[in-house]
Amino acid sequence: MKNLLLKSLEEIELIRESSQIVSKTLGMLANEIKPGVTTLKLDSLAESFIRDHDAEPGFLGLYGFPNTLCVSPNSQVVHGLPNKKPLKNGDIISIDCGVLKNEFYGDHAYTFTVGDVSDEIEELLYVTKASLYIGIREFKLNNRVGDVGYAIQNYCESYGYGVVRELVGHGIGRSMHEGPEMPNYGKRGRGKKFRDGMVVAIEPMINLGTHRVNHHKDGWTITTKDNLPSAHYEHNIALIDGKPELLSTFNYIYDSLGIKNKEEEEFKNYKI
Ligand code: MG
Ligand code: MG
């Protein structure tokens, strides 16, 4: 992983452009995710959509990954491979997508419900997404990497959930994965100090049960050790004028699903 690279405002705008194409892709997919659809179909729709926006799928070929989307249903945590198995009522599915445009990457993820899910799973999703914003609030001038991780861990563990240790968020820019690593666990006041111009992907991966995971023989798929469900949400955020600025948005998803949601408004500080 490359060392921390601070970005100019011009570079941040290019990351925002790539990130917004991911946001729109997830918004398009929100209309397609229903019982009966296969993840290979979603993958093909996403690839066409990204190319229609004069961009490249950011994951395809990265470290040898064979697809556009990482699709991780139910007990899969992240990095699941699209396949021909239809989604069914009651599933949840994390869809993680990357885009490369103008030599800069965007990368974020949302966990969707398929039909009706149990109250227990609804709460896991609610808490995991809330923890993402709790973490983002700590991404501010002179705070440190450990402040973000501590805030996410403390909140999620108060619900008895498992915070995945083996996979972490990251810096993003001309590479998909740059420093610093952004764990979803940690100690206050520890780790690299945040400075204006940093751009990161914060991405809590939170399990209903144990935090422990299994790595599968396909070299990609990661599941929870107890096979209980796992949730994953990710945003891209720049530090501008000391404050976190969201470069990605879930609002295209909410538009598709007919949901009114103002959760992102506090993170739109920077006006161009
Ligand atoms: Mg991602
Ligand atoms: Mg990421």
- Separation of CA 10 and ligand 1 centre (Å): 23
pLDDT at 161: 98
- Separation of CA 239 and ligand 1 centre (Å): 19
Q: What are the residue boundaries of the structural domains of the chain, listed by start?
A: 9-267
Sheet containing 243-246: give its strands across.
Answer: 178-182, 169-171, 199-202, 235-240, 243-246
Q: Which CATH architecture has domain 9-267?
A: Alpha-Beta Complex (3.90)
Nearest-ligand number for the alpha carbon of 199 = 2
Beta pairing partners, 45: none
Distances 82 to 71, 85, 93, 155 between C-alpha atoms, Å: 6, 9, 11, 31
List the shell of residues around ion ligand 1, using CB closer than 5 Å. Answer: 96, 107, 109, 234
What is the rounded distance in angstroms from the CA atom of residue 149 to the CA atom of residue 134?
10
* Whole-model pTM over 0.75: yes
- Calculate ∠ Cα 145-22-70, nearest 5°: 80
- Separation of CA 68 and ligand 1 centre (Å): 11
For the chain, residues with pLDDT lower than 50 are: 272
- Separation of CA 189 and ligand 2 centre (Å): 23
Alpha helices by DSSP H, the chain: 9-30, 39-52, 119-137, 145-157, 251-257
pLDDT at 30: 98
Amino acid identity at 147: D
- Separation of CA 233 and ligand 1 centre (Å): 8
pLDDT at 268: 85
How does the average pLDDT of the chain come out, rounded? 96
What is the rounded distance in angstroms from the CA atom of residue 34 to the CA atom of residue 266?
31
